[in-house]
Structure 1
């Protein structure tokens, strides 16, 4: 097996990818600090920048694999590590990213993540508390100076006490700025989360539509395959059956004249079968829908079908309305092909002397075709109830919204097709 190409490459999980990206960010961040330091950059507290880079790398590494853990680690670290106040806007980057990631992941809501993030950002504004007499002395010095600005840098390293008497806060505008950044991260996380949900729903619906379309295509292919098989069966089986019946009748009759007549009839029937087959192939090539029998009237088509099946052993009697109005090409084709298939079954499976084809139009909206014989059945004495012929007749009837029943009628067989008359052809 070949190991070249994309199939050989290992697939990394999102957690591994994010961890590698976070490591890369940390290395680049450290390199930038070192380069700037060598260039003469001397910040007041360089540890703030180191912590900001480390927390940013942590937020990136955990943003998809463990977003909740990453959020709480960054939020707590923001409060503990940056207790000296907001010196640079970079301190808010890790908290904003962790907040955005955990809300987008859906592991925490915008409220449950937004409130701790807002409090963590507000903690930047708390500089420190001086306790006891030292606090009182510093407060007096501040009052004497008139402003805490002069004392600001001297109080940066004070750790918060529990019983302090002096609390120093930085510029309130910094508080507004910090909270604005955090709130924007909360809003973006919520909006992107909704967009992700909408996209996932659309992808699911699209997948369902694709599956439905594929199933519909398969059904259409199956229906077309069945139609081709049905039309091919109707064309070939009927003509071949008629030829076989006439040939068998001629074999048992020792009359040279009848044999020549039968051979002539078989030749004509073979030509007609060939022409019908070519017509069917042309229909399939042009994709013009179901096969039609002919442009002749329905009674003429039925008479031709009956004559084809009639032999010395089987007579066919037609019972048609005196005046048969046009019923529409689709309905007339179905009636002709159902009658043709039913008569073919009689010729193959019955020893009856006569078959009756009766067509009636009831209430001008229903047509009933009945093909029956008195029997008995040929062969084992049991008429075959299955096969392609019966299924094809049923499919043709149901395709027009009708129904077809077939079964024993005494010693014989009876096929009844009830079809709706929906469209009439102009006379």
Structure 2
């Protein structure tokens, strides 16, 4: 079966398996699947939920449901069928034979998006490793991407004519080389983090469900031009910029990959490194799309991932670092809903209404972040040699200098007394200079 191009018409199907996904809203999940298809440049020709009483090992769906899918493909002129669930290699092949169309599952679709969007060397390595891991589980698949340099792997673009059978040994060898390359990249990242650790700059990490508005907020706070569209997975590679806060001369703001429900296991492992900035953060900003009807379920997913990373212990559990919950897209709410949520937010100082699009709530949020970063700070009176301009400049740039005056001399010459407010962490860094 040939390759499918961008702009192709796709049928999106969500298999609602009885008892398999308690608490999941099938319609919300279907909307998310449509968003994934749009994110890769497909046209959603039709989409519907198919309830499954039992899973058929050969095809997942029953014959009647397959017939319905085939009819929809004919009526809507769909070239591609997206099944928002997990398909075995045999199920995928059998469905393709029955529907006479290309079929991909949720994992394949997300891998395709990640393959196209990954911008850094690390991101590309991680995507390829994840894709090879996925291909290992395909019993009958063909692939071309080992010969391809651009992003995208499964079904969009690429040579098509030169496909070769997926040889397991070749895949294993390639995965081994990729893991070595990734290990080198991670060592380099760890070295960069260590260097940043010696500089007294706190790290603020933006996390949240995909399309919650993290990149829009990142751009507003930094003046950067990170891709910020109404698309799932608009950001895949961690992006960092320096920002200033009230009382904090410099902090590092880190934008991260969006979280999503049922993220393929291959990607959970492969993209863990992109969340290292979250593990190292001094403050985490959890951006929620509060206008999304599935916002609470999305929050649970994010909390679950933070739990997996060891940042937080389950929903409502203790966090190792302060977490502010930002209720973004406030401008999209009607007046009654705003009033209702305002009352709820006022009960918790770590919940803040916000609109990254309009700027509403940004200043109070920055004040709260600054407060968290400077909590526990106290005033130190420090004697510094007057000729040691570097130390004096350090105290001015990394603390709040209340007073500076001459303070006599010692055997090395004139001294200055600097009264400066520092956190214990910053004072420790100063002491190690």
- What is the TM-score when the length of structure 2 is the normalising length? 0.22
Higher relative contact order (CA 8 A, sep 6+): 2
Name the TM-score, length of structure 1 as normaliser.
0.22
Comparing both structures, which one devotes a greater share of its residues to strand?
2
Q: Which has the larger radius of gyration?
A: 1
More helix by share: 1
